Chains A and B, each alone.
Chain A
């Protein structure tokens, strides 16, 4: 029974999974916050995939987390689409964050139409990033968005309430943003191990 087997061959046949290392380092986009980049297992937002942001409440820095990314994309002349944002973006604040409003588009849709619009935008490949706030998004709807993001090679960000964290999701990266204490946790990261500790909100605010 006790035969000596080389560890490399076991690793190659994927019968042994090494926990710490990132097995397949997917392409990522920098978040614009150096500490956040370091903290995320991939080193940034996973490209051509959905990142899920589970937010405890409004007004705890969930937008400023993305602003550097949106600013970088819009100043490069790439389109960013907001689908059914919960409130109106205050133009002066977004301009102050460096976002070029000419490349920002807001789509208003209700219910399932919002998911349809998000899928269309993700799939088209003509948008650089799509942000959506779906009202009711189940596992299947998110999987559709994930496939659409892969097809269109687009960054997708889905904002959902924190209590959805217990439900499974096909998103490539899942972050929770908590208010008390103000911090950020990674609860899922495809191809890597989620770090155990949390990142305080001061890292990006």
Chain B
């Protein structure tokens, strides 16, 4: 296995600079209680003004006023780490955030796809630069060694254990990730580099220092595996966009909606799943959130389609109050199977696939507006059909001639001038479920030339029209 370590030395600063218009302007990050704000991190321009991390804000303001400030937010750092882990997951199945501000990627299995390591490394560096994160990348046969090498090197790639031992041997003791008091006492003992430390007998080291020192050394050299917890993409998509102002019209909601659905589609593509049901929540100042549920008949993940459908549902909603934030929540993400498409499609102008058309119709006309019809094995005409969103097939009994149209409720028929063409056909069924039907059906022709299907109940009564032979 080969492990790449991507160290992000300025994660907090880069995360904020990404959103700044002028990245070269002096910027400091503040931490600590409000009474005593301390500079946690400074960028290069601020450093040039004489500001240093650890300075108090008062001291910094005594020096100069020409700098912007932002809060050092551990939650935000955690979010950026998750973001970068999701990015790294595109390159390797094993991504770990074991060390803070550092990504560990198992790359040996990815080399077949992303080319030899120099090309792969260039690609990683380009993407990180585009994302706006400063980084140092090293490669080593085990994750701990990669992390330690990143302390002193950038771009070093070690694939061989012997070379690794050599490279680690010349590392200064302070850079090995040992506890601070241990490394201080080692330096005071006159040990400057790792190879000097390794030359000492193990038992004396074990006696003089805590057990974690030997454990760390063994992990570095690859004698002892490092248990890693790997990044797993989240199972639920939940994103919220806070709007800058109170939105009162649908039109103004479309822009954040487009971003949300595009993010959802990207998320689904990364998981190779689709979405069948999700909800859009519109948050108001005092009223409870309005929910816009979106349900699809099949799993989808096309961004344009998701957007159009959500838009269709949204346009039906009357906003009870101005909207402050929009949240999209998708809980169940079933597996996505792309629709089968022939290579040589007979309809070259097929610009809207059926699934998309169906969802568009349902969005405007209502969820029950688009149905499939299927037959049920029942002799009573009113029970012989079933409407559902998906067609069913079941074995059917042989029946006589049936009309093409069935009236939803039988209607009385005038008997003058009526011509009986066929019949009677007795339909007697349903005594077990309470809807007992005992009827004689006739095929009749009216005086106006229409052919109908009419019945008379065995108990007597008027002739009722139940269908048309159209």
Contacts and interface: CB of A to CB of B under 8 A. Distances in A.
A59 B470 contact: yes
B349 A90 contact: no
A126 B352 contact: yes
B435 to A, nearest CB: 17
A105 B371 CA distance: 6
A59 B349 contact: no
A66 to B, nearest CB: 10
A88 B468 CA distance: 10
Nearest to A181: B449
B469 interface: yes
Interface string B379-393: 001001101000101
Given A59-B450, A91-B375, A182-B449, A64 B404 contact: yes
A1 interface: no
Interface in A130-182: 151-153, 179-182
Contacts of B451: 59-61
A27 interface: no
Interface string B390-424: 01010010010111111110000000000000000
A14 interface: no
Interface residues of A, number: 48
Interface stretch (A3-11, A16-24, A107-115, A191-199): A107-115
A108 B354 contact: no
Interface in A104-132: 104-109, 113, 116-117, 120-121, 123-127
Nearest to B407: A87
Contacts of A152: 349, 351
A57 B371 contact: no
A125 B384 contact: no
A180 B449 contact: yes
A185 interface: no
Nearest to A62: B470
Central interface residue in A85, A125, A180, by most chain B CB within 10 Å: A125
Contact of A87 (B375, B387, B406): B406
Contacts, number: 156
Given A117-B365, A120-B361, A179 B404 contact: no
A102 interface: yes
B141 interface: no
Interface in B69-114: none
B451 to A, nearest CB: 5
A124 B351 contact: yes
Contacts of A106: 370-373, 387
Contact of B467 (A64, A90, A123, A179): A90
A58 B370 contact: no
B374 interface: yes
B469 A59 contact: yes
Contacts of A105: 358, 370-372
**CB-CB nearest 8 A-B residue pairs:** A59-B468, A91-B375, A179-B449, A59-B450, A87-B405, A63-B470, A124-B352, A93-B402
